[in-house]
Structure 1
């Protein structure tokens, strides 16, 4: 069954009365909308990230400033439940909906890889904010865009971090799925190229006794750190078991652990953890600081990388749709590829001819004793940031 949550952001245009008459043009345009769809596992992501808040904030600001060519921007939220089957069903529906000008989604690489073929065949713009598989944009697609660096780049960065921190004996613990298998492969390849020894590689298990025995094994093998290729929603229990076993192993991961509850619920289980991210709230970038201030004013909270991605994508689409034939996916896609150094929150951005995002910054997020610091190119930046 298709699960849809429609959220419509409406800016109320004031009626302009001249000489006792209503301006018919304004009245007519206020009833027209430009629609975008957002598709992702709603419950999982809305409870662990600020992604939807980023969409909401961007749309509100755009509509308060006249919308897109004086038309309201509307976002419809669809729940794919991280399921390939449901993702394909939604992709079929959205691909046939001529009112939907672009799709922001999907989240999980396995769902995105399957759904992308449907959007491409039907000439529907799709921009994924979170799927990191390099294979997404290796198919020669014209209408598929990836608003995040891929697993290979993040894995290389984390292997470089391991080398800098002098972790020479690493165990790899990976989810037995598309994301875990692909990310762990890239990390192992990069680590071995840097002469780092991969001591063990094993799929994640969550049974208490098996985890304890595994940690005992790693202690005997002098493992110095563990790379976990998984998302936090699945591995949170593992981190608790590490703590129960009094493990002192540093944990290295990628973007999958970037969840707003990581600091509060999990970081105290670990002596130190290293995550990859694209968003540095300590950046001196004026756009970044304006975004943070607006976000805090609206939600009384701090934004995360996922809200930054959402905000950027909406901003890019708004800019492109203003100058595109909105009935032509070909025109929209070409204008997306013509963007030059869009001043985003994660860098000066543009898309390649194959839909790969260029110019996005990548940071290492270091969490120790509840404090966060950021590193780029093996150098500390921005001091300490408290969540």
Structure 2
């Protein structure tokens, strides 16, 4: 009888051990990738998060047989600094989180990047962040778009190509605007094009009238607008167009907003902006657009592609490595060959900046309310 009890006890212990092992294995196979952002802003357009959700759905179908479960959610920071730091801290301390898509205000993400990465979370910035974040060789931070310095270079090369000679720059905002315009001017060295005036602020329309008179005296033939904040960017453009409807304008990508363009269609006509993504046509991209259209009833824009590619970038790499360990995934994502997404090859420098061929970065022109 005693022998039988010992055997039963042994069987129970083995069962419990196996059960615990299976639970641990199941936990290890979960890939929790939340989006940290202002929920109202994120869902107003919806394209990026739609792309993320479609990727989650398809990846779960594809990889469930391998024991992986992919989940995502929106962590709402309400576009507030204190809330953003609080939410990032909670995500950093959550052992189930593998990676975070950080779409916060740049001044917030500058702080929260260290909080998340310091706790071993993989942090991707699908809409970008300050260039300086990617100069510290931190293996956990990855930029999802070209650096602002790359955008500035692309804008400068476009200006030279178009034959503009005397450029005025209006820039007002934060560090990213400084990074962009500095790269812009440096790239003009040893060309026939030069910056003849810098304007850091415009307090009123009367002040702008004086600025515009100065630009006329300087024979300015192109104006670059680098402004943090979408509403203010269009206000500056409106002031310029009220005085000159034909002068060439090159703006930063913030102008490429469908809702704002619908309201400012006339004044945006003909202006140029650099694309934040180099999307290449492929059969995979065509098929994705068809699936997206079928699911959401509308066309996929570049941000839908970005959401899909960013999610699959993490998940496909994790499955290939058979892990949800952020450190192992981060190391693999620094592979020089990069990751082939549906829209392009995605590769990163040692510091996490996106490797970009500036000459391939498209310059988009606004035609009838759309940049194309």
The question of a shared fold, defined as TM-score above 0.5 by the shorter chain, is answered with: yes
**1 or 2 for the larger relative contact order (CA 8 Å, sep ≥6)?**
2
Q: Could you tell me which residue of structure 2 aligns to residue 207 of structure 1?
A: 204
Q: Find out whether 1:363 has 2:359 as its counterpart.
A: no
The answer to which of 190-199 and 315-324 deviates more is 190-199
Q: Could you tell me which residue of structure 2 aligns to residue 309 of structure 1?
A: 306
The answer to which of 144-153 and 129-138 deviates more is 129-138
Cα 1:363/1:83, change in 2 over 3 Å? farther
1:167 offset after TM fit, Å?
1.2
Q: Could you tell me which residue of structure 1 aligns to residue 92 of structure 2?
A: 95
The answer to which of 231-240 and 303-312 deviates more is 231-240
Q: Could you tell me which residue of structure 2 aligns to residue 264 of structure 1?
A: 262
Cα 1:85/1:205, change in 2 over 3 Å? farther
For residue 222 of structure 1, the aligned residue among 216, 219, 222 is 219
Q: Which string of whole-angstrom CA distances, capped at 9 and with x for unpartnered residues, describes residues 15-49 of structure 1?
A: xxxxxxxxxx9xx979x953111112333343356
Q: Which string of whole-angstrom CA distances, capped at 9 and with x for unpartnered residues, describes residues 272-299 of structure 1?
A: 1111114467x43222222222222233
The answer to which of 222-231 and 82-91 deviates more is 82-91
Which structure would you say has the larger Rg?
2
Q: Residue 206 of structure 2 aligns to a residue in which SS?
A: helix
Q: Residue 355 of structure 2 aligns to a residue in which SS?
A: strand
For residue 41 of structure 1, the aligned residue among 38, 42, 64 is 38
The question of whether the paired residues in 1 share the 8 Å contact of 2:130 and 2:176 is answered with yes
CA RMSD of aligned residues (A): 2.9
Q: Which string of whole-angstrom CA distances, capped at 9 and with x for unpartnered residues, describes residues 329-365 of structure 1?
A: 2222222223734222442222333323236752111
Instruction: Tell me the TM-score normalized by structure 1.
Output: 0.79
1:118 offset after TM fit, Å?
1.5
Which 5+ residue runs of structure 2 have no aligned equivalent?
1-21
Instruction: Tell me the TM-score normalized by structure 2.
Output: 0.82
Q: Could you tell me which residue of structure 2 aligns to residue 163 of structure 1?
A: 160
Q: Could you tell me which residue of structure 2 aligns to residue 119 of structure 1?
A: 116
Cα 1:339/1:280, change in 2 over 3 Å? closer
Q: How does 1:175-254 map to 2 (within 5 A)?
A: 175-205=172-202, 207-230=204-227, 231-254=229-252
1:222 offset after TM fit, Å?
1.9
Which 5+ residue runs of structure 1 have no aligned equivalent?
1-24, 374-387
Q: Could you tell me which residue of structure 2 aligns to residue 80 of structure 1?
A: 77
1:129 offset after TM fit, Å?
0.8
